[in-house]
Homo-oligomer: A and B are copies of this chain.
Amino acid sequence: MATGSSSPTGHHYVDIHPVLLHDDHDGRRSKLGKQPNSPVKFRGGDRKPRINRQVSLGTGVAVFGMEKERRDGNGGGNKREGPRSLSRSGKSLGGLGVGGDAVSRKGDFSIFRTKSTINKQNSMLPLRKESELIPQETEVGDDRINQSVPAGRYFAALRGPELDQVRDYEDILLPKDEVWPFLLRFPIGCFGICLGLGSQAILWGALASSPAMSFLHVSPVINLSLWLLALAMLVSVTVTYACKCAFYFEAVRREYFHPVRVNFFFAPWIACMFLAIGAPRRFSPKQLHPAVWCALVAPVFLLELKIYGQWFSGGKRRLCKVGNPSSHLSVVGNFVGAILAAKVGWEEAGKFLWAVGLAHYLVVFVTLYQRLPTSEALPKELHPVYSMFIATPSAASIAWYTIYGSFDAVARSFYFIALFLYISLVVRINFFRGFKFSVAWWSYTFPMTTASLATIKYAEEVPCFLSKGLALSLSLMSSTMVSVLFVSTLLHAFLWKSLFPNDLAIAITKKKTNTGAKSSQGQEKKVVKKTYDIKRWAKQTPLSLVSSITKSSSAEKDSDGK
């Protein structure tokens, strides 16, 4: 039964049917009727089987149970009773598919497969009879997956500042205690590594070339090696993620609809821009070709039109709901793009991007600072993600300087705002401890690097002991941070093999499956009260016992009718 909600492909039925038939071939199967064949319909509210059970049990207790079932939301009811006898594995998937053999286990992940792949697989099925059922099945299943998970679901089912942990009462579509395929565990946040390394390459380039920092005598070789490392990382991450897109497009879709992760879709392009900006002199011509800018800014711009449009035109993804510190990532692209525009000689395009960035930075800044209670994605406590706050004003400052050619009041104001926010976070350093390392942390290093870069520019403009010292110490801090993360990542990747845990956030169910949420709790209370009422009645007037039961059932009906 429960597989109805987890396995839309024909693959499963090879396993499911026997299980069901063996379990209660004669008795329940006949009652449950077409359930296994119509998972979506069932989920949509097919009440037939339940009514049948009501008849067969025929007691007030059953009525009460029914009541609860119905209230549990779609598909929740059967998960509770049905699998009790069926699921032997006790896994979060709740049932059959998991309990089966290796084939079925592999099939579980296919719900996140790219559609075309599934169809191809299906066509290779040997069992003629099953494969006849498949096209219909697959379509239904795919439709279910293709409907994007609504924004509210992510907030309801996930928690943590990166919305990467599943709430306790939530079920997920994939088995929690197995290691999923590597590609499914490879999050978009990995591009953060490229952001971190790319910005470091720029930083060391600036340290080597900036007149203000010439007293350090930094060799340009560091820049070169970091740049090559960043390039290699970008290529490998891109290839891996491209594979994910190719094979598990549904998982990518789910990352795209994730309110925090969506902002990381800007990361690949920003990382590319970082590489283009920080390219060592021996590789890059005097001036980059504008085509580079076009190629890198186009996807950012299109994504912005989409994301900002969602904020702006309302709906469930309006800014006051989805706004969170990682939204800065979707703004910072403008400023990085503006810097690149200046590098390719298109100042006007840079000014355009800068203005767009400014407008949205303003909105995001004010919204995040206000911490509206409607913003469901804002973490309760401070977290590395807050470092994003530093990135945007730093980038805005550098961009202004690069486009307009002077570190004037505007650039300075943005820089000082970044500096203040930096200080504001540093003094709260204690709050940043105690968080589990994740790949996304890399994204939180590039703001530090950007702030260091802005400080170097400032030190060029105002060359004094304090500014140079600040530039040096900030650069060291960011480099240290990147080094620490690099080592951590290596340790997690190769020693502890824990760099890519199961990516639970993408496997949440589309609808709530149990009674954890408040609303249903409220309803439950009512029921408890009602049953209590019935008992009261029973005690008081023994004669009316029967009638009261009848009544209570009609009352139940009533409350349903609501």
Where the two chains meet, the residues of A that have a C-beta atom closer than 8 Å to any C-beta of B are 305, 308-309, 311-315, 318-320, 323, 348, 351-352, 354-356, 358-359, 362-363, 365-374, 378-382, 386, 404, 409-410, 412-417, 419-420, 423-424, 427-428, 431, 462, 525, 529, 532, 536-537, 539-541, 543-544, 547, 551, 554-555, 558, 562
Contact = CB atoms under 8 A, between A and B. Distances in A.
A457 B536 CA distance: 80
Contacts of A539: 544, 547, 551
Given A365-B359, A369-B319, A305 B352 contact: no
A370 B319 contact: yes
A227 to B, nearest CB: 31
B351 A412 contact: yes
B352 A420 contact: yes
Contacts of A323: 370
A359 B420 contact: yes
A319 B365 CA distance: 13
Contacts of A544: 539-541
Contacts of A305: 423-424, 427
A535 to B, nearest CB: 9
How many copies of the polypeptide does the oligomer hold? 3
A423 B306 CA distance: 11
Per DSSP, chain A at the interface is helix
A106 to B, nearest CB: 41
Contact of A363 (B369, B379, B536): B369
Given A348-B462, A356-B417, A417-B356, A370 B372 contact: yes
B541 A318 contact: no
A416 B356 contact: yes
A369 B364 CA distance: 9
10 contacts: A305-B424, A313-B382, A314-B380, A348-B462, A351-B409, A356-B417, A362-B366, A409-B410, A529-B558, A536-B551
Given A358-B413, A365-B363, A373-B320, A419 B541 contact: no
Given A369-B312, A539-B544, A355 B424 contact: no
Contacts of A314: 371, 378-381
Contacts of A414: 355
- A-B interface, 5 closest residue pairs, ranked by CB to CB distance from nearest: A355-B416, A355-B413, A318-B371, A352-B416, A363-B369
A209 B389 CA distance: 44
A369 B311 contact: yes
A309 B351 contact: no
Given A314-B378, A318-B370, 7 more contacts: A305-B424, A313-B381, A363-B365, A363-B370, A372-B372, A537-B537, A539-B551
A315 B352 CA distance: 37
Contacts of A315: 380
Nearest to A458: B348
A457 B309 CA distance: 27
B371 A373 contact: no
B366 A312 contact: no
Contacts of A551: 536, 539-540
Nearest to A419: B352
A379 B359 CA distance: 22
Contacts of A431: 313
A229 to B, nearest CB: 34
A562 B521 CA distance: 12
A319 B540 contact: no
Contact of A424 (B309, B374, B541, B558): B309
Contacts of A462: 348
B309 A355 contact: no
Most buried by B among A319, A409, A547: A409
A208 to B, nearest CB: 26
Contacts of A352: 416, 419-420
Nearest to A525: B562
A532 B547 contact: no
A389 to B, nearest CB: 8
Most buried by B among A323, A368, A536, A541: A536
Contacts of A547: 539-540
A312 B424 contact: yes
A549 to B, nearest CB: 12
Contacts of A356: 416-417, 420
Given A366-B366, A540-B551, A541-B540, A372 B374 contact: yes
A48 to B, nearest CB: 24
Contacts of A409: 351, 404, 410
Given A314-B378, A362-B366, A410-B409, A372 B416 contact: no
B412 A355 contact: yes
A520 to B, nearest CB: 16
Contacts of A366: 362-363, 366-367, 370
A415 B374 CA distance: 32
B374 A373 contact: yes
A319 B417 CA distance: 18
A558 to B, nearest CB: 6
Most buried by B among A363, A378, A543: A363
